[in-house]
Structure 1
Amino acid sequence: MQILIKNSKLKNSSDIGNNSVPFFEQIYPFNTETVQFSKKTINGRYPEQGFAANSELSSIYYVESGAGYICYKDNYHELSKGDAFLFQKNDRYWLEGEDLVLIVTKINGKRMY
């Protein structure tokens, strides 16, 4: 099992065909079926319209830096450095931020990359 991924080995969202989204994602491709780890930088609203939801995974979003808002279950929450948010499978949400840097851990799902 791979236990260290150097910065030079990261996969970027632009490398896997995700060029039309308002964020940049760095994917740490650990060889595991149960946990996925990435770093996202959001500038603007994600998704641009409607809501995002993951039908296969639960996720924890940790705010590394920046600020923004999240709309979750029709409630708005301000996000700032050090905050963490848990999304269960199928939870619908949207995010908006300026230089909002998130560490994202996806749990108990199928391999995506």
Structure 2
Amino acid sequence: MDYVVRAETPAVELYQRLRVGAGLSPKSTEAATAGLAGSWYAVVAYHGDRPIGMGRVIGDGGTAFQIVDMCVLPEHQGRGAGKKIMAALVDRKYGFAETAPASVGMALRL
């Protein structure tokens, strides 16, 4: 299947729909609105004109950046869309590198 990845921050409703549709935890409209505003870079993957996946880069602007919200709807998983999303995020040249086992990240879910 042909997938196109566009550099864009998803609308709140699309963000919520893609997360839940791909099996990630739901986010409230308030949380999604605040979180999306903090995106450094975001992409949405399309199959035709239908959004089927996304990913974002968040960070502090100086020392730490993280790829989050990587998701692809189940009917499109295993067909290369996720690889295209990740490539688009990494191609931003933020210098992502594996840190384990030297360091391990932690997260707090609100």
Q: TM-score, normalising length from structure 1?
A: 0.29
Q: TM-score, normalising length from structure 2?
A: 0.29
Higher RCO by CA contacts (8 Å cutoff, separation 6 or greater) = 1
The structure that is strand-richer by fraction is 1
